[in-house]
Structure 1
Amino acid sequence: MPRRAFRVAYDGRPFHGFQRQPSLPTVEDALFDALRDLGVLADDADKPPGYAAAGRTDAGVFGLGQTVAFDAPDWLTPRAFDGELPAAVRAWAHADAPTDFHATHDAASRAYEYHLFAPDADLELARKAAERLVGTHDFRDLSAVSSGNTTRTLTTATVLRDGEFLVLRVRGDGFLHELVRRLVSLVRAVATGEVQPARVDSALTPGTLPDHEIPPPAPPGGLVFVEAAYPELSFEPDGRGVESVREVFDDRAARATTRGRLCRRVAGGVAVDEDDSG
């Protein structure tokens, strides 16, 4: 069978991350279960032949352009895939790939976004902090990795304001575990005046900061895996797959907006009796 790559979008909240874990639901489990239901993956097989994914994401992280590739029959289109996938996971594009294609190793770059609720943050300070991140650095103190090669290259790191949110966009040759979320915490600390911009340089020099000053990871819920880039592949969007992504995620956005309104109603409806206020 030829090798085929699929672009996959997902809402990471119902899952315990992307990669399979014992006795816990993951995005990868959903993909493999769908392939078994479609008869592409045998019941006794661990994974499809040639299978690899562009990257791993933690529980709660969203995906837009996650990419998985494996040996697949010609009839397995994104819409056929979606027919057996849960609504939280949608395939929306595909590309035929060389027989030796590997979705992890062949990615030229990866891109992430983090949407940070920060109405009082200074955009210019945030941008100055992000600019210092561009280039090749040892990110050991900004990740959950303490050994091995922790040097990576960020080709872009930009910040824009979208209403009450700051959106940090980063692209690089690879990302260590928790790296993007720790970068977000560092940029936020600079943008709110908690630390000076020079703190970024210290964080990029392993061993300089005491442990209590190393930025913690920001919550996973604001992170989106935007894409893995493969210059040699030409992805073809599936009309029905794209429509399905929009339907599912527009509906989830509407429900989230309603939940937010009700939360604000409850928070604003609490009254304190002056006689009981202490």
Structure 2
Amino acid sequence: MSETARDPAPVARTGRRIALGVSYDGRGYQGWQSQPSGQTVQDRLERALADFACKPISTLCAGRTDAGVHGLMQVVHFDTDIERAPASWVRGTNRFLPPDIAVQWAQPVPAGFHARASAIARRYRYVLLESPVRPSLEAGRVGWVFRPLDGVAMHAAAAHLIGEHDFSSFRAAECQAASPVKTLTRIDIERRGAYWRFEFEANAFLHHMIRNLMGCLVRVGQGLAHPDWMREVLAARSRDAAAPTFAPDGLYFVGPVYAPHWGLPERVAAYDWA
């Protein structure tokens, strides 16, 4: 879950550019980005596209996700000289994908569109179960805490994070981002029964940033730290000042935000499920 790794060299423009919206369950994969093992979401998607198109296709995504992190609407683009209707790209590619990855939509886009560079914001959601008993049916799809959480305290802590800040305290050691300064525009926290939902929106995120923020919010929510401690952690600009990295289980890449003129879908059915 990051904007850390550098994209490969731009793909040569041939024919038309296609954007896809892709959803996936991240539990069985080593993250988004292609690896020698071939066990990543990108690897499986590109193999399916190649099987459907009968030739290799390389994709670029809006935001890479870590192992175990899910995608509600990852957006990718690729260039191709193959002529297919948008519905054919959806149905044809899904025919070759495993059940836990699915193309949700396909749309031709102008040559100037870039899944990553054209995004003006990115959104993540963390779903957290508060229960004395660990999750079962939803195991791997939600995070879990067994101590009660204080929503008022977490809201107060989150308020310290809004705006442009140096988020070094919430940055993984292996993060490759050029700058730790990001603009966090929104954190919404709400409870539905035993489940908490945390919504994050920013211009970009650092490697493990959401999971590190969650570790700190949960610590405050459990009464183990005062809400103002979040301000101290932020000011420290040191990973040692923050709580341990929280589990990836309940983390979802909701998707990128694009300017309206690109005309891309703004939501998929999985938004309602999560």
- Return the TM-score normalized by structure 1: 0.78
Aligned pair 1:175/2:211, yes or no? no
Picking from 186, 193, 197, the partner of 2:216 is 186
Cα 1:170–1:40 shift into 2, 3 Å:
farther
Match in the other structure for 2:30: 16
Q: Judging by fraction of residues, say which structure has more helix.
A: 1
Amino acid at match of 1:55: G
Match of 1:71 in 2: 79
Change in 2 beyond 3 A, CA 1:164/1:9: same
**What amino acid is the match of 2:228?**
A
**How far apart are residue 100 of structure 1 and its match?**
2.7
Partner of 2:21: 7
Q: How has the CA–CA distance of structure 1 residues 129 and 40 changed in structure 2, closer, same or farther, with 3 Å as cutoff?
A: farther
Q: Give, as a single letter, the amino acid of the residue that structure 2 aligns with 1:233.
A: W
Using a 3 Å threshold, how does the CA distance of structure 1 residues 56 and 147 change in structure 2: closer, same or farther?
closer
Is 2:207 the partner of 1:199? no
Distance 1:70 1:216 in 2: 37
1:233 and 2:262 aligned: yes
SS in 2 for 1:77: helix
Q: 1:94: Cα distance to partner? A: 2.4
Partner of 2:165, secondary structure, is strand
Deviations 1:33-53 (A, max 9, x none): 1012113533xxxx53xx310
Q: Distance in 1 between matches of 2:157 and 2:187?
A: 9
The alignment covers a number of residue pairs equal to 237
Matches of 2:54 and 2:264 in 1, distance apart?
A: 21
Amino acid at match of 1:234: G
Kindly state the Cα deviation for residue 141 of structure 1 after the two structures are TM-superposed: 1.0
Q: Which amino acid aligns with 2:159?
A: E
Cα distance between partner residues in 2 of 1:70 and 1:24 = 19
Of the two, which has the highest radius of gyration? 1
Contact 1:131/1:158 (<8 A) preserved: no
Q: CA RMSD in A?
A: 2.5
Secondary structure of 1:38's partner? helix
Calculate the TM-score normalised by the size of structure 2: 0.79
